[in-house]
């Protein structure tokens, strides 16, 4: 190095900072302009002293601080051979080679190579090469290959974007060198790699290290795609034709990559792809790149096959006929339903050309599906006319008119009405109509009107509700609706909807509105319903509230219902189905004011459920006990000996039928049979006790009957089975 070498002002600034950071007590003034210079004969002693001082003040365990200090000195200027020797002699601290590659410092790199501390086969040496690629330092690459005559191995030494994503970092900035090169537009370095396969061929053609994790020399499919999107398609094509590896990142590593909404603004075009590269190729119709990928054989085979259906989809949607022709010519899989073809063709600029090509080239049985032709798109009538005139076997279902109606396509609905084809449609055509114009079309079409309660139940457009109401009063149109609209409006506290119904002149229907308002303590809604609900509607809502309170044992809700003065309903299930003693006791104490009706089902359910506590409550309640033979029959069939014992000791007149022992026998419950046998009560049973018994219980039940000595009416079909099981 020339003894009069000078440092530009920024370098002098960095050197001054390094001096301060080393606590030397020295401070170099930064030049105010580029005219001032520092003689090299002053600079080198300063740097040398700085490195030696750094070695003396940094303890051995603090090696990282020492490395940083020495590195600051080495990068303050182009170091001389003497400085390199001083640095290498300082406790064996290795320099940070990559920074010299990134700044294109061939002088320093060459010195390190001459001192044999920069080895192309070492991890540090390999990092130097890829750092130069990422920084677009072509002169470093030339020095590597031409001056030193080195090659590049294929091992991966850097963390990939996928690995970062797997660690939960989800960084949108790539960490592999080629992705960084693409992001920094280091296209000269990428072109250098393509031009020097003898140097990097093995590295750039290396396979994936693991699924979704490319080797260092492989460019990711995201990187190649970004080259295309940033105006470097020719370079991307050269990379593929060189058979260099294109690694597909896992979805998790590509999820947050920026710019793709800008590159591919069509939302549908962004769906489904497993490769960003194939997404760009498919949506832009880049046939030359598609050919290159297919010609690459096994290297790119999975990438093409996994995205084949999406390539076809975009070729149809965007009228890329050249892609479709090539796809057919090269025997690529045409795994496409005709319904998808018609739906996608309806979105393109020239659907007839696409359909003509498909008809001409499709292999096997070809049909014309009308279902999705009229749903949407600017060319629906052209497509329908083509399909009907195609000579193909025309297929369609009610979906064809339903979809046209749901999309508000009156032109298509008119086409169907005058087509001469059988008209097929369902209630969905009117239920899901988007506006009153479609409803007017159906009303004036002369066709049978098909609609269900969904038309009004789930309608939230006030104008649509007005249409239904007006047609009812003006033209006698039958309205179909349930309690859903008012229940939903009440739950949402939508007073405007509730007022619409009260002013509509239509019968109000609600079921759970009052109950939900009570449960959620919506006092305003409770007051509104108590004021606006007629007697009949109030009775319906009261029944729901009482039923919910009793079935769930909610004493607080029972209190609310009582305070509101809700009427006791005639629904006997409310008490019959209640299994909560607390709720029953609450009611019994108010029986005179809340005379809910009940039936024999109450004791029958308690017996069937094995609830002796409920039976005892009823017995002690002072209320009339209503029961019949069902109670003991169900207790026996359900295997509850404790319930049978309760009835036996209750002192009540016992009622039961043959079902007691027949059902116990059928279900293999010999313990129940034994209870009846030992009870001293009249035994009631029929031959059905064995005739319909499950096969798995025949041996056990048959043994019980034989030991009991009871006469079992013989049934031929059961005798044979009994003989075979004994």
141 with 234, same domain: the answer is yes
| Least reliable range by pLDDT among 65-74, 285-294, 555-564, 679-688 | 65-74
Residue 295 in this model has a pLDDT that exceeds 90: no
pLDDT grade, residue 11 (50/70/90)?
very low
Average pLDDT over every residue of 391-419: 90
Average pLDDT over every residue of 385-414: 89
Residue 29 in this model has a pLDDT that exceeds 50: no
Residue 68 in this model has a pLDDT that exceeds 60: no
pLDDT grade, residue 300 (50/70/90)?
confident
pLDDT at position 347:
78
Query: Is 406 within a domain?
Result: no
Average pLDDT over every residue of 56-78: 53
Which tokens belong to 98?
A: 């990559």
More reliable by pLDDT, 83 or 251: 83
87 with 193, same domain: the answer is no
Q: Report the distance separating Cα 325 and Cα 290, nearest Å.
A: 13
145 with 244, same domain: the answer is yes
pLDDT at position 4:
35
Distances (CA, A) of 17 to 25, 30, 43, 87: 11, 10, 14, 19
pLDDT at position 101:
86
194 with 248, same domain: the answer is yes
138 with 244, same domain: the answer is yes
Average pLDDT over every residue of 219-248: 87
Last residue of a domain, one of 211, 237, 263: 263
Q: Report the distance separating Cα 119 and Cα 523, nearest Å.
A: 81
Last residue of a domain, one of 61, 95, 129: 95
203 with 153, same domain: the answer is yes
124 with 255, same domain: the answer is yes
| Least reliable range by pLDDT among 27-31, 342-346, 610-614, 722-726 | 722-726
Query: Is 252 within a domain?
Result: yes
Query: Is 138 within a domain?
Result: yes
Average pLDDT over every residue of 212-234: 81
pLDDT at position 22:
46
| Least reliable range by pLDDT among 285-289, 327-331, 376-380, 474-478 | 376-380
pLDDT in tens, 90-126: 555 556 778 888 888 888 888 878 877 788 888 888 8
247 with 169, same domain: the answer is yes
| Least reliable range by pLDDT among 202-211, 418-427, 461-470 | 202-211
Q: Report the distance separating Cα 423 and Cα 566, nearest Å.
A: 51
pLDDT at position 714:
58
Residue 246 in this model has a pLDDT that exceeds 50: yes
pLDDT in tens, 449-466: 999 999 999 998 999 999
**3-class SS at 213?**
strand
| Least reliable range by pLDDT among 3-17, 224-238, 596-610 | 3-17
Average pLDDT over every residue of 644-657: 96
Query: Is 210 within a domain?
Result: yes
The answer to whether 171 and 161 have CB atoms below 8 angstroms apart is: yes
123 with 29, same domain: the answer is no
pLDDT at position 176:
73
- The per-residue pLDDT of the chain, averaged, comes to 80
Helix intervals (H) in 565-629: 573-576, 581-588, 601-608, 612-620
Q: What angle do CA 470, 472, 477 make, to 5 degrees?
A: 135
258 with 150, same domain: the answer is yes
Query: Is 507 within a domain?
Result: no
The answer to whether 670 and 705 have CB atoms below 8 angstroms apart is: no
- H or E segment and range at residue 368: strand 367-369
Residue 703 in this model has a pLDDT that exceeds 80: yes
Q: Report the distance separating Cα 79 and Cα 87, nearest Å.
A: 10
Residue 36 in this model has a pLDDT that exceeds 50: no
Last residue of a domain, one of 27, 60, 95: 95
Query: Is 508 within a domain?
Result: no
9 with 129, same domain: the answer is no
Q: Report the distance separating Cα 291 and Cα 296, nearest Å.
A: 8
pLDDT at position 76:
54
Average pLDDT over every residue of 218-233: 88
62 with 183, same domain: the answer is no
Distances (CA, A) of 549 to 473, 506, 515, 557: 39, 30, 9, 6
The answer to whether 223 and 178 have CB atoms below 8 angstroms apart is: yes
Which tokens belong to 697?
A: 């219980």
| Least reliable range by pLDDT among 277-286, 468-477, 481-490 | 277-286
If DSSP states are collapsed to H, E and C, what string results for 478-493?
CCCCCCHHHHHHHHCC
Average pLDDT over every residue of 155-168: 42
Residue 77's domain spans which residues?
A: 1-95
Average pLDDT over every residue of 474-482: 96
Average pLDDT over every residue of 158-182: 53
* Count of domains for the chain: 2
Query: Is 554 within a domain?
Result: no
Q: How much is the pTM?
A: 0.66
Q: Report the distance separating Cα 495 and Cα 508, nearest Å.
A: 14
Query: Is 651 within a domain?
Result: no
Average pLDDT over every residue of 178-196: 89
């Amino acid at each position: 190095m020339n003894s009069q070498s000078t440092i530009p002002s920024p370098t002098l600034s960095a050197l001054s900072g390094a001096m301060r950071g080393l606590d030397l007590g020295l401070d170099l003034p930064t030049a105010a302009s580029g005219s001032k210079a520092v003689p090299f004969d002053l600079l080198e002693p300063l740097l040398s002293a700085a490195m030696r001082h750094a070695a003396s003040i940094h303890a051995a365990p603090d090696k990282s601080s020492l490395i940083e200090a020495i590195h600051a000195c080495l990068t303050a200027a182009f170091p001389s051979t003497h400085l390199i020797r001083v640095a290498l002699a300082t406790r064996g601290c290795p320099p940070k080679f990559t920074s010299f590659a990134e700044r294109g410092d061939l002088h320093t790199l060459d010195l390190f190579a001459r001192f044999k501390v920069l080895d192309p086969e070492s991890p540090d040496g390999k990092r130097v090469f890829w750092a130069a690629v990422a920084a677009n330092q072509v002169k470093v690459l030339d020095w590597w290959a031409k001056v030193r005559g080195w090659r590049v191995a294929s091992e991966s030494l850097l963390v990939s974007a996928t690995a970062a994503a797997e660690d939960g970092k989800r960084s949108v900035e790539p960490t592999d060198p080629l992705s960084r090169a693409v992001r920094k537009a280091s296209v000269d370095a990428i072109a250098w790699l393509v031009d020097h396969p003898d140097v990097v061929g093995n590295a750039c053609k290396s396979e994936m290290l693991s699924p979704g994790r490319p080797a260092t020399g492989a460019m990711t499919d995201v990187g190649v795609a970004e080259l295309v999107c940033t105006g470097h398609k020719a370079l991307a094509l050269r990379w593929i034709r060189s058979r260099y590896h294109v690694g597909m990142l896992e979805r998790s590593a590509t999820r947050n990559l920026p710019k793709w909404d800008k590159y591919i603004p069509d939302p549908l075009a962004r769906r489904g792809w497993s490769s960003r590269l194939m997404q760009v190729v498919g949506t832009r119709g880049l046939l030359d790149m598609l050919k290159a990928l297919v010609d690459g054989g096994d290297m790119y085979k999975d990438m093409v096959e996994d995205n084949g259906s999406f390539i076809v989809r975009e070729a149809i949607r965007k009228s890329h006929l050249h892609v479709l022709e090539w796809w057919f010519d090269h025997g690529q899989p045409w795994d496409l339903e005709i319904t998808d073809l018609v739906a996608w063709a309806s979105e393109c600029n020239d659907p007839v050309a696409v359909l003509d090509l498909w008809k001409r080239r499709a292999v096997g049985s070809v049909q014309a599906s009308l279902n999705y032709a009229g749903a949407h798109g600017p060319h629906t009538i052209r497509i329908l006319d083509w399909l009907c005139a195609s000579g193909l076997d025309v297929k369609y279902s009610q979906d064809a008119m339903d979809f046209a109606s749901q999309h508000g396509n009156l032109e298509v609905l008119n086409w169907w009405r005058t087509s001469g084809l059988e008209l097929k449609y369902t209630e969905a055509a009117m239920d899901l109509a988007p506006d009153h114009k479609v409803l007017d079309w159906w009303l004036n079409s002369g066709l049978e009107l098909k609609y269900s309660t969904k038309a009004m139940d789930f309608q939230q457009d006030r104008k649509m509700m007005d249409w239904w109401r007006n047609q009812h009063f003006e033209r006698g149109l039958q309205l179909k609706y349930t309690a859903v609209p008012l229940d939903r409006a009440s739950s949402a506290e939508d007073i405007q909807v509730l007022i619409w119904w009260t002013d509509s002149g239509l019968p109000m229907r609600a079921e759970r509105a009052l109950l939900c308002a009570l449960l959620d303590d919506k006092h305003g809604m409770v007051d509104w319903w108590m004021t606006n609900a007629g007697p009949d509607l109030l009775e319906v809502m009261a029944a729901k509230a009482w039923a919910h309170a009793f079935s769930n044992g909610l004493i607080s809700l029972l209190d609310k219902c009582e305070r509101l003065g809700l009427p006791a309903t005639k629904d006997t299930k409310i008490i019959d189905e209640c299994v909560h003693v607390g709720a029953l006791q609450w009611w019994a104490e108010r029986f005179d004011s809340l005379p809910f009706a009940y039936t024999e089902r109450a004791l029958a359910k308690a017996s069937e459920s094995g609830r002796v506590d409920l039976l005892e409550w009823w017995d002690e309640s002072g209320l009339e006990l209503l029961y019949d033979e069902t109670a003991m029959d169900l207790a026996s069939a359900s295997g509850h000996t404790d319930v049978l014992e309760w009835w036996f000791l209750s002192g009540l007149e016992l009622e039961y039928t043959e079902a007691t022992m027949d059902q116990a026998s059928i279900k293999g419950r010999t313990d129940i049979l034994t209870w009846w046998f030992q009870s001293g009560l009249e035994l009631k049973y029929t031959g059905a006790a064995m005739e319909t018994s499950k096969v798995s219980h025949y041996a056990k039940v048959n043994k019980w009957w034989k030991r009991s000595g009871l006469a079992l009416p013989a049934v031929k079909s059961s005798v044979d089975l009994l003989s075979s099981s004994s």
